[in-house]
């Protein structure tokens, strides 16, 4: 059983929904970002999404784009991002870490080398937003063989014809993108999300986690109530970008986690 599977099993036993937090590795600098990451479990985070900085983040809005830019300007690399996981694992061997980003840095490093390093560093899952199911042989299948979950995105435009293809070879959980467009823009509406989550769950036994457009504890609660959990990214990254201290960022994260867990 993977760390992700174990986490969802434990949450189910506790009757709680999952709270997933996204941060960008290396934002605003290596040590500050690592301090925030290490504090996430104590702030109530069940699964950590660790952003891999990239120069052309097509799915991301201004907040995440700027975080990636800050990280890259500070010297963050794929190797340093994997080092985040290694440093985190020195004191936490249970919280799942999902690396989220784009394929280019992985392709440049070499898939076999990357998967070996990611496994050794303690990465549990991958969300690679620009690799469609038609390209599963590139990374998805090798990742699964290496014991790393490959988590797929479903969106409001994923119709019934496309959904089975999206779910094929997906593991860990399904990430439902609640809005059409980029991160950090429109707000998710539970009335719109609920029927889509039900439609996906009718086709898979995997947990369905909802992200994009969730910015407040109230929104985290309302979305978690109709899914298996929720993801918050831009609202957290925005606090980091504005210069909030790690302590203040983690206090804000705690309010979001409490919202999701109260669903």
- Is 257 or 181 the better-scoring residue by pLDDT? 257
The pLDDT value recorded for residue 192 is: 86
CB 47 within 8 A of CB 96: yes
- Is 66 or 213 the better-scoring residue by pLDDT? 66
Domains and CATH numbers, the chain: 3-151+229-261 (3.20.20.70)
Q: What is the mean pLDDT of the chain?
A: 94
User: Of these residues, 27, 42, 46, 49, which one is catalytic?
Assistant: 49
How many separate helices (H) and strands (E) can be counted in the chain? 12, 9
User: Of these residues, 13, 14, 35, 60, which one is catalytic?
Assistant: 60
User: What is the rounded distance in angstroms from the CA atom of residue 148 to the CA atom of residue 38?
Assistant: 21
pLDDT at 65 over 80: yes
User: What is the rounded distance in angstroms from the CA atom of residue 247 to the CA atom of residue 93?
Assistant: 22
The pLDDT value recorded for residue 189 is: 73
Helix 30-39 × helix 234-241 angle, to 10°:
140
pLDDT band at 112 (very low <50, low <70, confident <90, very high): very high
60 catalytically annotated: yes
The pLDDT value recorded for residue 181 is: 57
Q: What is the pLDDT of residues 169-212, one digit of tens each?
A: 999 999 999 876 555 555 667 788 999 999 999 999 999 999 98
- Distances 87 to 30, 39, 76, 213 between C-alpha atoms, Å: 11, 12, 15, 30
Q: What is the pLDDT of residues 217-230, one digit of tens each?
A: 999 999 999 999 99
User: Collapsing DSSP states into helix, strand and coil, what is residue 126?
Assistant: strand
138 catalytically annotated: no
CB 210 within 8 A of CB 227: yes
pLDDT at 130 over 90: yes
The pLDDT value recorded for residue 124 is: 98
Q: Average pLDDT in the 135-151 region? A: 97
The pLDDT value recorded for residue 94 is: 97
Q: Average pLDDT in the 78-86 region? A: 97
The pLDDT value recorded for residue 213 is: 85
**Which residues, at least 6 apart from 10, have a Cβ–Cβ distance to it below 8 Å?**
none
């Amino acid at each position: 059983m993977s760390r992700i599977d174990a986490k969802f099993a434990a949450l189910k036993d506790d009757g709680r929904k999952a709270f997933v937090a996204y941060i960008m590795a290396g934002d605003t600098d290596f040590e500050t970002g690592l301090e925030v990451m290490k504090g996430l479990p104590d702030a109530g985070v069940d699964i950590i999404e660790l952003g891999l900085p990239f120069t052309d983040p097509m799915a991301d809005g201004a907040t995440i784009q700027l975080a990636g830019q800050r990280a890259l300007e500070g010297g963050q690399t794929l190797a340093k991002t994997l080092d985040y996981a290694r440093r985190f694992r020195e004191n936490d061997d249970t919280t799942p870490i999902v690396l989220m980003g784009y394929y280019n840095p992985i392709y440049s490093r070499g898939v076999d080398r990357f998967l070996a390093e990611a496994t050794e560093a303690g990465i549990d899952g991958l969300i690679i937003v620009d690799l469609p199911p038609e390209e599963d042989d590139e990374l998805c299948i090798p990742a699964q063989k290496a014991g790393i979950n490959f988590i797929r995105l479903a969106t409001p435009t994923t119709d019934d014809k496309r959904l089975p293809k999206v779910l094929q070879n997906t593991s860990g959980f399904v990430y439902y993108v609640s809005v059409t467009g980029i991160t950090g823009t429109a707000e998710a509406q539970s009335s719109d999300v609920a029927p889509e989550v039900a439609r996906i769950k009718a086709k898979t036994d995997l947990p369905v986690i909802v992200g994009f457009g969730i910015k407040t504890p109230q929104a985290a609660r309302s979305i978690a109530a109709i899914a298996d959990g929720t993801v918050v990214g831009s609202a957290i990254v925005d606090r980091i970008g504005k210069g909030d201290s790690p302590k203040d960022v983690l206090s804000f994260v705690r309010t979001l986690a409490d919202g999701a867990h109260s669903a």
